[in-house]
């Protein structure tokens, strides 16, 4: 396990052991059984290339009305609880005083990507975003607090954890591509990314 900082984003490489990763994936399968993955629509009318769902008090959502949090899955059910393994990571790396309101679960297939964006739908930016990578490697790009300018990239591997907080809380960031077959964690390949946020 090693820790590096890129533009203020703290990245703990190898934070989760292979066994811990398997345990977490099993818990996430139960979450997706209750709250199936779906493909959201952007406000511009274009479907996102990632599939997603959420756990916790709120789930992140997008459609033609905009980006926002909702207290229900599109199927009308309340979101499942955040898995204990995820909460333990948050309590260890972010805060033992307050748990996150949302754990957004993004699933990247082979050609999925995530454009440069800020996480700014939350009420209080003093709380970091905790990001967990599981499965295939992802080329993670980190920019600036304003759109444009020079960026830096790093390959995130299965078991890596990033804390996006402090001066880096509102940096633009995204995933340029996935490296298929780089991990055997998920039987059919792909990448899972968890991001935990305090919403209210």
| pLDDT tens column, 124-166 | 999 999 999 999 999 999 999 999 999 999 999 999 999 999 9
Q: What is the CATH number of the domain that holds 69?
A: 2.60.120.590
Handedness of CA 169, 55, 106, 86 (dihedral sign): positive
Per-residue pLDDT of the chain (200 residues; tens, 9 = 90+): 899 999 999 999 999 999 999 999 999 999 999 999 999 998 988 889 999 999 999 999 999 899 999 999 999 999 999 999 999 999 999 999 999 999 999 999 999 999 999 999 999 999 999 999 999 999 999 999 999 999 999 999 999 999 999 999 999 999 999 999 999 999 999 999 999 999 99
Q: In this structure, what token pair is assigned to residue 130?
A: 């905790």
- Quote the pLDDT of residue 174: 98
Q: Which domain does 170 fall in, by range?
A: 2-197
Q: How many structural domains comprise the chain?
A: 1
Q: What is the pLDDT of residue 1?
A: 86
Spatial distance between the Cα atoms of 76 and 93, rounded to a whole number of angstroms: 33
Of 80, 100, 101, 77, the closest CA to residue 90 belongs to 100
- Return the pLDDT at 135: 98
pLDDT value of residue 160: 98
Locus of tokens 């995530």: 114
Which pLDDT score is estimated for 44? 87
> What is the C-alpha separation between 190 and 83, in angstroms, rounded?
20
> What is residue 169's DSSP assignment?
T
Q: What is the pLDDT of residue 45?
A: 87
Element (H, E) at 30: helix 18-34
| H or E segment to which residue 91 belongs | helix 84-93
**What local confidence, expressed as pLDDT, does residue 157 receive?**
98
Distances 192 to 133, 145, 156, 178 between C-alpha atoms, Å: 6, 25, 11, 11
């Amino acid at each position: 396990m090693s820790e590096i900082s890129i533009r203020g984003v703290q990245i703990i490489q190898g934070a989760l052991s292979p066994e811990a990763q398997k345990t977490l994936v099993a818990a996430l399968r139960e979450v997706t059984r209750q709250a199936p993955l779906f493909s959201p629509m952007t406000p511009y009318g274009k479907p996102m290339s990632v599939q997603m769902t959420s756990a916790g008090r709120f789930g992140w959502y997008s459609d033609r009305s905009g980006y926002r949090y909702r207290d229900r899955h599109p199927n009308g059910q309340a979101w499942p609880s955040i898995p204990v393994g995820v909460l333990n990571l948050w309590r260890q790396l972010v805060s033992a005083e307050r748990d996150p309101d949302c754990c957004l679960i993004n699933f990247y297939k082979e050609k999925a990507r995530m454009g440069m964006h800020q996480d700014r739908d939350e009420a209080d930016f003093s709380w970091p975003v905790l990001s967990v990578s599981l499965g295939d490697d992802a080329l993670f790009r980190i920019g600036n607090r304003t759109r444009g300018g020079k960026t830096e990239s790093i390959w995130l591997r299965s078991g890596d954890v990033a804390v996006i907080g402090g001066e880096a809380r509102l940096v633009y960031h995204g995933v340029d591509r996935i490296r298929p077959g780089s991990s055997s964690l998920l039987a059919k390949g792909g990448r899972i990314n968890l991001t935990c946020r305090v919403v209210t």
